[in-house]
Amino acid sequence: MASVSLDTINPKVLKCEYAVRGEIVTLAQALQEELKSKPGSHSFDEILYCNIGNPQSLGQPPITFFREVLALCDHPSILDKSQTRSLFSADAIKRARQILDQIPGRATGAYSHSQGIKGLRDTIAAGIESRDGFAADPNDIFLTDGASPAVHLMMQLLIRSEKDGILCPIPQYPLYSASIALRGGTLVPYYLDEAAGWGLEVSELKKQWADAKSKGITPRALVVINPGNPTGQVLAENNQRGIVDFCKKEGLVLLADEVYQENVYVPEKKFHSFKKVARSMGYGEKDISVVSFQSVSKGYYGECGKRGGYMEVTGFGPEIREQIYKLASVNLCSNISGQILSSLVMSPPKVGDESYESFSAEKDGILSSLARRAKTLEDAFNTLEGVTCNKAEGAMYLFPCISLPEKAIKAAEAVKTTPDNFYCRRLLNATGIVFVPGSGFRQAPGTWHCRCTILPQEDKIPAVVSRLTEFHRSFMEEFRE
Amino acid sequence: MASVSLDTINPKVLKCEYAVRGEIVTLAQALQEELKSKPGSHSFDEILYCNIGNPQSLGQPPITFFREVLALCDHPSILDKSQTRSLFSADAIKRARQILDQIPGRATGAYSHSQGIKGLRDTIAAGIESRDGFAADPNDIFLTDGASPAVHLMMQLLIRSEKDGILCPIPQYPLYSASIALRGGTLVPYYLDEAAGWGLEVSELKKQWADAKSKGITPRALVVINPGNPTGQVLAENNQRGIVDFCKKEGLVLLADEVYQENVYVPEKKFHSFKKVARSMGYGEKDISVVSFQSVSKGYYGECGKRGGYMEVTGFGPEIREQIYKLASVNLCSNISGQILSSLVMSPPKVGDESYESFSAEKDGILSSLARRAKTLEDAFNTLEGVTCNKAEGAMYLFPCISLPEKAIKAAEAVKTTPDNFYCRRLLNATGIVFVPGSGFRQAPGTWHCRCTILPQEDKIPAVVSRLTEFHRSFMEEFRE
């Protein structure tokens, strides 16, 4: 065998962690196999996956209009058949034709321009303009296989060594810590204020920025996840202005993870893109660098498996744009179905289109159900002894704080694991419910959390609540001092 | 603006080059715009793209069966409609149902297992077994968004610093030099023997391996591209055995780029996977590490835009496999349409299936046409003054050697470019034909080449040949000493 061992591989790979698919999930898959091969072998009869923002895996149906268009673009030779008109909506057929006309040679099987098909980028830019009320340039759009490769690309561009710092919220989505570790940079943590509904204070940014500088680290960029993952908060516009000013003043690239922009559940909050906020403050292309990440995996569509998304790259000089283009070129292009879907989510059916009513019903049904599920789970967490849970204003997660008894913390130590991991493992073994331990997202020292998605279908929520409640009660009993 | 400049970005990004989408292509796109906005502004009326292995962009139609299955999987709710039976072939409907049954919850919009959907990996492993006659394990398959991300993943795993070397053929496909540059490793070149039909001599491997060692570089892996890109040769099985033995002896990971496995045009050559060759020599999992890359972008299907592919990873211990799995997990999963298509190319319709005859006609039509085009272009190159061109036994390219007159070399120097770039630029400006200069692939010092794909549709080939021939004649006249 070749001389490849843990001692001889890239140590940055070893350092990288990715909890969303870590130990607890592996255990869940093993339990699921056992339930299949030996029914009745556990006290539960199914695994309830609350670990990952993967709506369709839990039964959320895809949006019909989007799938109609994708199917027609995959097999355009049926477009002219009469049966097609009875199988597909008229506006899906029309949209598929428009999209095919935008693709050079109508070739959905060809590599596209490295940034993605120009006509689709036009549609996306128009969608951003109508969302923000500020101009968007199709040449600023880079279509990608989901948001993850876009984040990796920016980290690859910016990070030279461990002396380069990337400011990240704590708790954060582990893609960021993983990507920074893989590039050998330094994650500069800033803490969200749990007591203030996971508030993002500019004073905390300043403090951590100065602390990093004093250690010889050069902060290069600030990651903001809005709506928050795993924390579910939606930033107020005024707060965003402070963040923009901070980035402008310190010359930081603002990496805005805005993949949950359609997922806002409370009437008092509204999503504002960071680019819109910057433009509304009078800051243009020459004043601040903002990269906005969007994905087809989230929102009301939840098309994770399609791996579509884009980044809108503003405020970089042409020589840097050329480098970004080169990095995009090395992988040739993102997948065309994902590109098409990205254009659809930024330009869904409009009033008067044949599909508009059914589309709106599907969309509203999903979003209002998510809001109800968020509220039910939030309330359930807050009734548990020693648990506090902020509101899920947006995104797809709750991140409750669990005050674990000292005895449980010792028990975790005894089996060489973290207390939150210990709790999640016990929960899974007792109930089949899969949470992700807070450690995977990092958390304020001495606090323990877990991340729970709001995605189980509504008819499963009562089971989640009752099993969780019963487990938690007996867990607290067991470890009471 | 944020303090991002060429001086402050990752220097590895600056080092990375990717000629397939470089200067000449940018110029071609500009010319195409000019032809559109000012028809008649050039002496040619269309750009003839011979620069990239992108068959469908040049009019190659997709394989009907594959697209039927993809469309049905995108929009499964039409599967039960009676009109569907008149629009789609019966075996496509059957296959789509089988595939949907393999996907947990039939959710084509869900993230899959990080390695790809298990049922599809079963199909792919069965396809490899039937191709090779040796066992393949579905747990060795990692589905990816095309072959490029798979190559990046392996480079990321293996390269620690510039002291780690990766043996690559020269000429090579620039993905390899780009990926090694981005990871900060050292490309250890081994030269293919142009005079022996781009032969790969083990003696040359040994020489370059020893040379690298003497410079303090640790060779970690050997890249072999078979059939060759840009060189078009198909390795003889006996030659492959020597390569396997060399890797085994020196503890090198064998990175086998086998994406052109279906593209063999000469009866005297046959594709053999390196894993098959290793197994046929009696070497098992514990003897040698082989990674085989496959893609849906090449072959007779040419589905570049779908970004599908896989790597088969054999001969690593479980602790390394775990690290590879983690790296795959950080991007969650590859796109599901690409996953489905990967299973289809490894398990196309069989004798007796409704689509078999039409499928075979499509496949054979494309492959025999590619063989004719390769021969016509090869013959055309060999009639040109000072040009020699090896046979395209496989893949999609010719890589002719052009003995440029001293005066042309000086003219190139005068405008600060390489002679091959100079030639390609002149060719493009005079004829609209797009080749890639050999420099982008690297070449033996003092030799100049260009890469030309065999992909223009057959009715365009006479125009390519006559324009090229005329250009070359006048170019040689102009620079004759």
pLDDT averaged over every residue in chain B: 95
Name the residue in chain B with its Cα closest to that of A175.
B330
Q: Which tokens belong to A114?
A: 């490295």
pLDDT at residue B481, rounded to an integer: 80
> At B267, phi and psi to the nearest 5?
-65, -25
Find the mean pLDDT for residues A424-431: 96
**Cα gap B190→B228, rounded to integer Å:** 14
* B337–A74 CB contact, under 8 Å: yes
Q: Which residues of A7-20 are buried (b: 16+ CB within 10 A; e: fewer)?
A: ebbbebbeebebbb
pLDDT at residue B337, rounded to an integer: 97
> At A354, phi and psi to the nearest 5?
-55, -40
Percent of chain A with pLDDT over 70: 99
ipTM: 0.94
The closest CB to that of B1, out of A54, A178, A289, belongs to A289
pLDDT at residue B1, rounded to an integer: 52
With beta carbons less than 8 A apart as the criterion, state whether B159 and B166 touch. yes
pLDDT at residue B52, rounded to an integer: 87
**Cα gap A322→A115, rounded to integer Å:** 11
A52, A74, A457, best to mutate vs chain B, most B CBs in 10 Å: A74
The closest CB to that of B329, out of A18, A77, A331, belongs to A18
**Cα gap B16→B175, rounded to integer Å:** 10
Q: Which residues of A285-297 are buried (b: 16+ CB within 10 A; e: fewer)?
A: bebbbbbbbbbbb
* A107–B57 CB contact, under 8 Å: yes
* B72–A71 CB contact, under 8 Å: yes
* A109–B62 CB contact, under 8 Å: yes
What number of CA atoms fall less than 13 Å from residue B367's CA on the CB side? 21
pLDDT at residue B126, rounded to an integer: 98
Note the pLDDT tens digit of each residue in A199-224.
Answer: 999 999 999 999 999 999 999 999 99
3-state secondary structure of B342: helix
pLDDT of residue B376 exceeding 70, the answer is yes
The closest CB to that of B182, out of A114, A156, A329, belongs to A156
The closest CB to that of B156, out of A13, A111, A331, belongs to A13
**Cα gap B310→B426, rounded to integer Å:** 39
**Cα gap A274→A296, rounded to integer Å:** 19
pLDDT at residue B105, rounded to an integer: 87
Residue A327: band (very low, low, confident or very high) from pLDDT cuts 50, 70, 90: very high
pLDDT at residue A104, rounded to an integer: 87
Q: What is the DSSP string of A149-161?
A: HHHHHHHHHH--S
* A68–B62 CB contact, under 8 Å: no
**Cα gap A232→A225, rounded to integer Å:** 9
Q: How many CB atoms lie within 10 A of CB B5?
A: 12
Q: Are strands A164-170 and A218-225 parallel, antiparallel or unpaired?
A: parallel
Residue A442: band (very low, low, confident or very high) from pLDDT cuts 50, 70, 90: very high
Enumerate the residues of chain A whose CB falls inside 8 A of the CB of residue B285. 1
Q: Which residues contact A377 (CB under 8 A, 6 or more apart)?
A: A392, A398, A452, A454, A461, A464, A465
The closest CB to that of A148, out of B178, B330, B338, belongs to B330
Note the pLDDT tens digit of each residue in B407-444.
Answer: 999 999 999 999 999 999 999 999 999 999 999 999 99
pLDDT of residue A63 exceeding 80, the answer is yes
pLDDT of residue B232 exceeding 80, the answer is yes
At B112, the amino acid letter reads S
pLDDT of residue B48 exceeding 80, the answer is yes
pLDDT at residue B143, rounded to an integer: 98
pLDDT at residue B346, rounded to an integer: 98
**Cα gap B279→B339, rounded to integer Å:** 26
With beta carbons less than 8 A apart as the criterion, state whether B456 and B48 touch. yes
With beta carbons less than 8 A apart as the criterion, state whether A246 and A203 touch. no
Q: Are strands B433-434 and A218-225 parallel, antiparallel or unpaired?
A: unpaired
Instruction: Kindly report the nearest CA distance between residue A264 and chain B, in angstroms.
Output: 21
Note the pLDDT tens digit of each residue in A281-306.
Answer: 999 999 999 999 999 999 999 999 99
User: E strand or H helix at A310, and its extent?
Assistant: strand A309-314
Number of residues that make up chain B: 481
With beta carbons less than 8 A apart as the criterion, state whether B66 and B362 touch. no
Q: What is the DSSP string of B377-412?
A: HHHHHHHSTTEE-----BTTEE--EE---HHHHHHH
**Cα gap A244→A275, rounded to integer Å:** 9
> At A43, phi and psi to the nearest 5?
-80, -5
Enumerate the residues of chain A whose CB falls inside 8 A of the CB of residue B305. 107-112, 333, 335-336
* A302–B178 CB contact, under 8 Å: no
* B305–A4 CB contact, under 8 Å: no
pLDDT at residue B104, rounded to an integer: 87
* B158–A57 CB contact, under 8 Å: no
Note the pLDDT tens digit of each residue in A115-127.
Answer: 999 999 999 999 9
Note the pLDDT tens digit of each residue in A370-381.
Answer: 999 999 999 999
Tell me the longest C-alpha to C-alpha distance in chain B.
Answer: 74
The closest CB to that of B18, out of A81, A252, A330, belongs to A330
**Cα gap A318→A327, rounded to integer Å:** 14
Name the residue in chain A with its Cα closest to that of B12.
A160
Q: Which of A429, A410, A430, A420 shows the shortest CA–CA distance to A452?
A: A420
**Cα gap B302→B146, rounded to integer Å:** 12
Q: Which of B364, B309, B363, B377 shows the shortest CA–CA distance to B341?
A: B309
* A330–B175 CB contact, under 8 Å: yes
Find the mean pLDDT for residues A441-446: 93
pLDDT at residue B284, rounded to an integer: 95
pLDDT of residue A2 exceeding 70, the answer is no
Instruction: Kindly report the nearest CA distance between residue B405 and chain A, in angstroms.
Output: 33
pLDDT at residue A121, rounded to an integer: 98
> At A9, phi and psi to the nearest 5?
-90, 170
The closest CB to that of A335, out of B254, B326, B338, belongs to B338
pLDDT averaged over every residue in chain A: 95
* B109–A303 CB contact, under 8 Å: yes
DSSP 8-class letter at B199: B
Q: Which tokens belong to A218?
A: 């050069």
Lowest mean pLDDT: which of A51-60, B86-95, B218-227?
A: A51-60
pLDDT of residue A19 exceeding 70, the answer is no
Enumerate the residues of chain A whose CB falls inside 8 A of the CB of residue B247. 2
Q: CA angle, A144 as apex, B96 and B120 as ends, to 5°?
A: 25
Name the residue in chain A with its Cα closest to that of B70.
A74
**Cα gap A110→B411, rounded to integer Å:** 36
Instruction: Kindly report the nearest CA distance between residue B68 and chain A, in angstroms.
Output: 6
Enumerate the residues of chain A whose CB falls inside 8 A of the CB of residue B107. 56-57, 59, 305
Q: Which tokens belong to A340?
A: 């098409």
Enumerate the residues of chain A whose CB falls inside 8 A of the CB of residue B148. 330-332
What number of CA atoms fall less than 13 Å from residue A127's CA on the CB side? 20
pLDDT at residue A418, rounded to an integer: 94
Q: Which of A114, A137, A116 shows the shortest CA–CA distance to A290?
A: A137
* A330–B16 CB contact, under 8 Å: yes
pLDDT at residue B80, rounded to an integer: 93
Q: Which tokens belong to A179?
A: 């990507």
3-state secondary structure of A221: strand
* B109–A304 CB contact, under 8 Å: yes
Distances (CA, A) of B264 to A92, B360, B371, B397: 40, 16, 8, 12
pLDDT at residue A20, rounded to an integer: 67
Q: Which tokens belong to A334?
A: 């993102």
Enumerate the residues of chain A whose CB falls inside 8 A of the CB of residue B55. 110
Distance of CA B248 to the CA centre of its chain: 25
Q: How many CB atoms lie within 10 A of CB B290?
A: 28
The closest CB to that of A16, out of B320, B326, B333, belongs to B326
